[in-house]
Amino acid sequence: MKKHRCLQGAIIGFGNMAEQGHLPGWLRERRVSLQAVCDPNPARRKRAAQLLPDVRIYSAPADLYARETLDFVDICTPPPFHATLLGEALRHDVHALCEKPFVGTLAELREVRRLAQQKRRIAFPVHNWKDAPILARAIGWVREGRIGKVIHSEFHTLRRRPAAGLTPWRSQTEEAGGGGILLDHGWHAIYLLLNFHRERPRSVSASLCPSPPARRGRAEHTAHLLMRFRDATASLFLTWRADRRYNAARIYGDKGLLVLEDDRIVLRPRQGGARVATYKRPLSHGSHHPDWFGPVMARFLGAVEDRRRAVRELEEASLCLEIMLKGYASARQEGQPVPIPPAKGGNRG
């Protein structure tokens, strides 16, 4: 049996997601040894030192790379820093796992892809919502053909307010390096819908509230986005102004229907009886989801061993970014559909 060397890693950005969402997984993983944590915030460095007394603590990535020999970094900073930190890791011949949204512009994406190819390292997104047990089952049933060909899907995310973070990026417009609910929750919803349809959309339209002309520097708190495929559609609705925390989905096929209601999923095939599965923890429970990080971590470590496994994940993040940017462009055009060109080389994306 082949033995694998223990990989040396570091966490960059020790906020709530790193502490509560990622750290428990790394501490359970025998193939990994955490060597360092890097964060510019003194309070967060102090917290890291309390939780990880044997790990070295740094305030700047330059010091981290100068003093550590690393195989990978786990980037958990706010989104405006992702592209820079991904680039730094790859230039130092270090693999990078990065929270969503992966990067913010197509130019940043091209540079990350170029460096990953040049350095023969991987840049890997954290797309953990497809690893939520209830959503993994939904994706599995769709791929098994339980409802036939998907002709329409919907995903709804309702929240009372934005998640509390250590930086204000959720209140900044995308032009200012942040983004509202479309950038925050929308990224997750987009890759989920893509996993239901498994094809590249042909156009995107979106409406935001406040709308771009009425923003006055405010990010959107409510968003609706519609993707059009060759012969199907997908819709997402997101808001921080709801009266409850809640998630729901509908997936319509030509041979059945899937209904997801936060902690319950129902398969209703055209022929045969309904199948119901319930879950103790609702999909909307919590913000950090440490139990969903395990499958992401396993895929990442597998891709470190075989870089070909990272290709699909990076392409999924690439398409999420493209759809996101087209959605914001559509909103600036009062909801007009914005075409999405075919993938280069004819790939489905």
The secondary element (H helix, E strand) that includes residue 95 is strand 95-98
In tens, the pLDDT along 18-36 reads: 999 999 999 999 999 999 9
Query: Would you say the C-alpha torsion 143, 301, 32, 50 has a positive or negative sign?
Result: negative
Residue 51 phi/psi, 5-degree rounding, is -80, -30
In tens, the pLDDT along 108-127 reads: 999 999 999 999 999 999 99
The angle that helices 133-143 and 181-197 make with each other, rounded to 10 degrees, is 30
Number of other CB atoms surrounding residue 167 within 10 Å: 16
**Interval 164-168 mean pLDDT:** 59
Distance between CA atoms of 160 and 284, rounded to whole angstroms?
12
Distance between CA atoms of 204 and 227, rounded to whole angstroms?
5
Q: Which residue matches tokens 């509390």? A: 164
Residue 305 phi/psi, 5-degree rounding, is -75, -35
| Burial profile 179-189: b = 16 or more Cβ within 10 angstroms, e = fewer | bbbbbbbbbbb
DSSP code of 342? P
In 115-179, the DSSP E strands lie at 123-125, 150-158
pLDDT at residue 1 greater than cutoff 70: no
Asked if 39 contacts 48 with a C-beta cutoff of 8 angstroms, the reply is yes
**Interval 305-310 mean pLDDT:** 93
Given this model, what pLDDT does residue 40 score? 97
Report how far apart the first and last C-alpha atoms of the chain are (Å, whole number): 35
Could you check whether the bond before residue 210 is cis, i.e. omega within 30 degrees of 0? Answer: yes
Domains and CATH numbers, the chain: 7-128 (3.40.50.720), 129-343 (3.30.360.10)
4 or 92, which is more confident: 92
Residue 155 phi/psi, 5-degree rounding, is -140, 130
The whole-model pTM stands at: 0.92
Given this model, what pLDDT does residue 343 score? 86
